[in-house]
Amino acid sequence: MFDSEFMRLAFAAGAIVGLLAPAVGFFLVQRRLSLIGDGIGHIAFAGVALGYLIGVSPVLTALIASVAGAVLIEVLRARRPEAADQALALVFYTGIAAGVVLVSSAGALNANLFAFLFGSILTVTGGDLALVAVLGVAGLALIALLYRAFAAVALDEESARVSGVPVGLLNVLLAGLAGVTIAASMRVVGILLIAALMVLPVTAASRIAWSLRSALLLAMAIGVGSVCLGLTLSYYGDLAPGGAIVLVAAAAFALAAAGSAAFARARTG
């Protein structure tokens, strides 16, 4: 499997995404914003379509659109927390509609678009890997630097705000990170599935973790494991890699949930 350069590139890019996506998703899940990745993905789709239309790298336009869309969702949510779901819906449907209109205008309803929607990790180039590596390392470094601050906001946002933690700025930063993650992960699992890689490893880890820190580290381990096992199954089983990766992550959640329930029964029974 690793004799082929395309598989080595796929595993390298996938491993970075497998670490970054759950690390960012961890704080979104704790703040009950699990669906925000889907919304950003829809905006990213519009960004890809815009890139095709104006003849600019779709990855670049998707990155700009993702970050801008993520920040917009956060600004709308902060202004009216009680209508946060409406803000998500506004962005979701506007993004997908804009994408459909732009992509049809560009005449780009073809296999290239399919690759962005569902991933094309097996076509990752050295340049793609370099971009994913830069975005991934920067994202992980920011999370490492601000872990305690992000955790304080996720655990008790209002208390953090009262005591002077710059909650607004941290929330915008996290939203921007989510946008970067979506853009970096498009080639690995695709726009339509990336949210799953941000959420499923986190929910699996939360079932078996014994602390907040262990939950984050386990989520990242499950993310990387899902990518590696998913790619392996895809290679030998001739399966769609993006879908295989997400199904492995879903299986990890099912195993963790079953294991946690069995352990709880054994303890009380």
Partner 1 sequence: MPLVVQLRGVAYAYPGGPPVLRDVDLAVEAGEFVAIAGPNGGGKTTLLRVALGLERPTHGAALLFGEPAQHATRRSRIGYLAQRARLGVEAPVTVRELVSAGLVARRGVLARPTAEDRARVEDAIARVDLTAQASRMVSRLSGGQQQRAFVAKALAARPELLVLDEPTAGVDVDAQESLARLLGELHRDLGVTILLVSHEFGAVESLVDRLVLVRGSIVFDGSPGALPPTWHDPSHVHV
Give residues with Cβ within 8 angstroms of 165, minimum separation 6: 149, 152, 153
The DSSP line for 33-64 is -TTHHHHHHHHHHHHHHHHHHHTS-HHHHHHH
Rounded Cα gap, residues 129 and 141, in angstroms: 18
Please list every residue from 17 through 36 that binds partner 1, using CB under 8 A: 30-32
Q: Which is nearer to partner 1, 8 or 31 (CB)?
A: 31
Show the tokens assigned to 100: 């459909």
List the Cα angle 201/207/210 in 5-degree steps: 105
Q: Which of 24, 44, 50, 160 binds partner 1 (CB under 8 A)?
A: 160
Minimum CB distance to partner 1, residue 156 (Å): 6
Q: Which of 2, 55, 210, 238 binds partner 1 (CB under 8 A)?
A: 210
Q: Which is nearer to partner 1, 54 or 162 (CB)?
A: 162
Q: Which of 55, 164, 237, 269 binds partner 1 (CB under 8 A)?
A: 164
Contact 198, 25 (CB under 8 A): yes
Q: What secondary structure letter does DSSP report for 210?
A: S
**86 is an interface residue for partner 1 by CB under 8 A:** no
**152 is an interface residue for partner 1 by CB under 8 A:** yes
**146 is an interface residue for partner 1 by CB under 8 A:** yes
Contact residues for partner 1, defined by CB under 8 A = 30-32, 145-146, 148-149, 151-152, 154-156, 158-166, 170, 205-206, 209-215
